Structures are given as C-alpha cells and as structure tokens.
C-alpha cells in the first residue's frame, strides 16, 4: 500500500536481493521455526513463503500467547466471569478462545460483565471507576506484556485501589525453547527468535539455550526485510556448519535487553511452573504473583484451582504448536474448525498458526 512508514524495510528491490541471496546460499533442506506469532502473521501477510526456495520450510511455533493457554486456564477465566461480583477485563484476543464448554464471548452474551481493554492500566482505571465491583485483569502474554501488567499492579497499589487483581497466566519464552528441543521426535533445524520479547529480555537471555543446543538462531524484527535478513543469516550459519546466536534486529534489541522492564517484572512476578497447550507442564516457564503482592493475585483472592481438562477430540493444536503437524494435516482444519467457529486456540487468535494459515495462506498453495 502507499505508505511511507517502514518503507526501507519493505523495499521490493531489497527484498528481491535478499530472497536471491537465500536461494543462492541454500543447498539442503532446512526447517526453521519462527517462535513468535507476530512473525507468523507478518510472514503470511506479506506472502514471504512464496519468495523462499523449496529447501526452506518455515514452521510456526508456540509464540502466540492465546494459543498456548491451557483449556483449564480458559475455564478458570470463565468461572471468574460467571461470578456476579466480578468484572473481567481482558485483551480482545481472548474472547473467542474456547474453554471446555464455553468462551468469554458467549459468557458475555449470557450476561457476564466482560470488558475488552487495550492495556492493563485501563483495567486499573475500570477498578477506580467501579469501586463496588471486583475487577480482574486476565494477564496473558510473554515477556513483552508481563512488565506492563506488573506496572499496573504497582500503579493500583500506589493509588490505593483495592478492587483490582490479576489472574496471572503469563509465560516466558526461553524455557519453552528448552522444552521444545527436549521433545523426542522434534524436527527443527533452526530458530527465528522473537523481536518484541527480545527487546525486553535481550540477546543474552538465549545464551544458555544456544550453548546447549548449538542450533542456528537469529533474532528478527517484523518487517519483510528484517525477516529475510534473519533467514539469510540462519541459512548461512547452517550451510557453513557454524551455528550462532545472531542479533538481526539490532535497531531494537540490545545485548542485555531492557533492564527497567525486567526490574518491574521481577518486582511483581516470580518464575513458576506453567502448563502450555501442546507442551505440557514446563518448569519455571510461567510467572506467578509474588507473595508480597498477594492482594492483587486473583487466583489467591478467589481461591481458584485449575482442574486439568482433556483437549478437544481430534484437535491437533499441540502437534501444530510443536511443528509436528501443519494446519492442513489436522482433521478438523477448515471443516469443523474455522476462525468464525474455532475448536482449538490456534484458530482463534489473529496470530494463531491455523488462523493465519486460513486467512493468508499463500495463493500458490491453492484455495
């Protein structure tokens, strides 16, 4: 479209040169997982797959926060929304995510007070304006979102707002990478590492993971040129047999990340075990509200317990998130499971692998 923003990162000539370089460099098949949902969407929106040689396969990983949220956690959100004293504040992405019987969108249609907000601070403002209601913010997201939620808790504390709490379902990326590569039958040759998350945690945060696996890695931005540069770097590493942890998004990602954001996050949250859809429980891969802030922890405040729920029958979200299946290989894809009527979470979020496939899949792939 006719825009000026980010033009140099969408320059067709530059993109063409990068694609040609990748074609020249690439000899053997390479399966690259993009961990981040925003990468998945950018790849589909710009039609990047159609520019890559057949040797390169891009796989979408567990990098969409909504998609890796466990069914039992969604059920917990729904249970909160059903309590008459509670106003649930959430990012819109969560509304359509199916729990085992219902969704927040359907609860809202049945009378639950569910409000879409654009930041956790908006939820604090709702609490201030509705002193008679219990406002619970659904804290979902990676290291990118978690510091803003931590900041909201601090803001509520400073303003003496007592009817605000957070259901903390946050997850962190490096432990998930570890868990992914620990899976037995995984076929991933390289990782395209997230951009926004890396802005917060820095290149340094991936060093232990890289040292253990020695798989080619590159941190990438979100524009076509950023992504292709990172893919070219990965292909170069793989072809030369010299894996590295490259920062191909230097204009935004520093070695040590954003210390201020890390401090706020660590002040309010502590690492905790978390259950990921498709990956199971990963040690220290989630965040929990520290005891000092227990008053703001919705799980404690409303004595929530998550009962494990089986995933919907036939749903392959687990295999899709771990690149053991592509969306069209799921028996439900496109028939029983569509963005308008999703069965699994990968079809719900705009960044979900299945939803992105469904909306944007390359024209060359038919359809």
Partner 1 sequence: MDPVSRILLDHGSGGRIAHRLLRDRVLPVFDHPALAELNDGAILEMEGVRFAFSTDSYTVDPLFFPGGNIGELAVNGTVNDLAMCGARPLFLSAAFILEEGFPLADFQRILDSMAQAAKAAGVAIVTGDTKVVPRGAADRLFINTSGVGLIPPGIRVASRRAQAGDRVLLSGSLADHGVSVLAGREGLAFETSVQSDTAPLHRMVAAMLEAGGEAVHALRDPTRGGLGTALKEIAESSAVSVVIHEEKIPLKPEVAGLCELLGFDPLYLANEGKLVAFVHPEAAEAVLRAVRSDPAGKDAAWIGEVLPGPPGRVVMQTRIGGQRIVDMLAGEQFPRIC
Q: Which of residues 78-117 bind partner 1 (CB under 8 A)?
A: 91-96, 98-103, 105-106, 108-110, 116-117
C-alpha span between 108 and 82 (Å, rounded): 9
DSSP state of 312: P
Establish if 174 lies at the interface with partner 1 (CB under 8 A).
no
Establish if 367 lies at the interface with partner 1 (CB under 8 A).
yes
Number of residues located near partner 1, criterion CB under 8 A: 73
* Chosen residue from 30, 62, 120, 142 binding partner 1 by CB under 8 A: 142
Helix (H) / strand (E) containing 289: strand 280-289
- In terms of Cβ atoms closer than 10 Å to its own Cβ (0-12, 13-18, 19+), residue 85 is exposed
- In terms of Cβ atoms closer than 10 Å to its own Cβ (0-12, 13-18, 19+), residue 147 is buried
Q: How far is the CB of 291 from partner 1 (least distance, A)?
A: 26
* Chosen residue from 118, 158, 184, 307 binding partner 1 by CB under 8 A: 118
Task: Give CA separation, 147 vs 181, 197, 263, 350, in Å.
Answer: 27, 11, 8, 22
Q: How far is the CB of 269 from partner 1 (least distance, A)?
A: 16
Binding to partner 1, residues 255-294 (CB under 8 A): none
Establish if 340 lies at the interface with partner 1 (CB under 8 A).
yes
Tokens linked to 289: 């509200």
Q: Among residues 214 and 359, whose Cβ is nearest to partner 1?
A: 359
Establish if 140 lies at the interface with partner 1 (CB under 8 A).
yes
Give residue for tokens 């956790």: 120
Question: What sign does the CA torsion over 31, 345, 269, 137 have?
Answer: positive
DSSP state of 129: H
Q: How far is the CB of 148 from partner 1 (least distance, A)?
A: 10
Establish if 145 lies at the interface with partner 1 (CB under 8 A).
yes
Establish if 360 lies at the interface with partner 1 (CB under 8 A).
yes
Establish if 235 lies at the interface with partner 1 (CB under 8 A).
no
Establish if 77 lies at the interface with partner 1 (CB under 8 A).
no
């Amino acid at each position: 479209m006719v825009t000026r923003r980010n033009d140099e990162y969408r320059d067709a000539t530059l993109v063409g040169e990068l694609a040609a370089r990748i074609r020249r460099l690439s000899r053997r098949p390479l399966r690259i997982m993009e961990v981040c949902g925003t990468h998945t969407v950018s790849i589909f929106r710009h039609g990047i797959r159609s520019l890559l040689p057949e040797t390169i396969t891009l796989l979408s990983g567990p990098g969409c926060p909504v998609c890796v949220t466990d069914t039992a956690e969604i059920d917990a959100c729904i249970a909160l929304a059903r309590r008459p004293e509670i106003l649930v504040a959430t990012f819109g992405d969560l509304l359509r995510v199916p729990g085992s019987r219902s969704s927040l969108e359907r609860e809202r249609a049945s009378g639950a007070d569910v409000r879409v907000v654009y930041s956790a601070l908006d939820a604090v403002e709702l609490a201030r304006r509705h002193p008679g209601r219990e406002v619970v913010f659904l804290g979902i997201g990676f290291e990118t979102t978690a510091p803003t939620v931590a900041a909201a808790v601090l803001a509520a504390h400073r303003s003496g707002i007592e009817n605000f709490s957070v259901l903390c379902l946050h997850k962190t990326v490096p432990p998930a990478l570890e868990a992914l590569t620990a899976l037995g039958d995984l076929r991933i040759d390289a990782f395209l590492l997230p951009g926004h998350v890396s802005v917060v945690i820095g290149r340094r945060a991936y060093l232990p993971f890289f040292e253990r696996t020695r798989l080619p890695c590159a941190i990438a931005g979100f524009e076509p040129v950023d992504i292709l540069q990172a893919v070219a770097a990965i292909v170069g590493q793989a072809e030369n047999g010299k894996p590295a942890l490259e920062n191909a998004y230097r204009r935004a990602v520093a070695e040590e990340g954003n210390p201020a954001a890390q401090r706020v996050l660590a002040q309010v949250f502590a690492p905790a075990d978390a259950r990921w859809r498709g990956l199971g429980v990963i040690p220290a891969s989630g965040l929990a509200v520290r005891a000092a802030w227990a008053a703001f922890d919705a799980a404690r405040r409303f004595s929530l317990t998550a009962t494990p729920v089986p995933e919907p029958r036939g749903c392959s979200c687990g295999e899709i998130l771990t690149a053991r299946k592509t969306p069209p290989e799921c028996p439900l894809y496109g028939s029983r499971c569509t963005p308008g009527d999703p069965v699994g979470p990968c079809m719900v979020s705009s960044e979900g692998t299945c939803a992105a496939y469904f909306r944007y899949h390359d024209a060359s792939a038919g359809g």
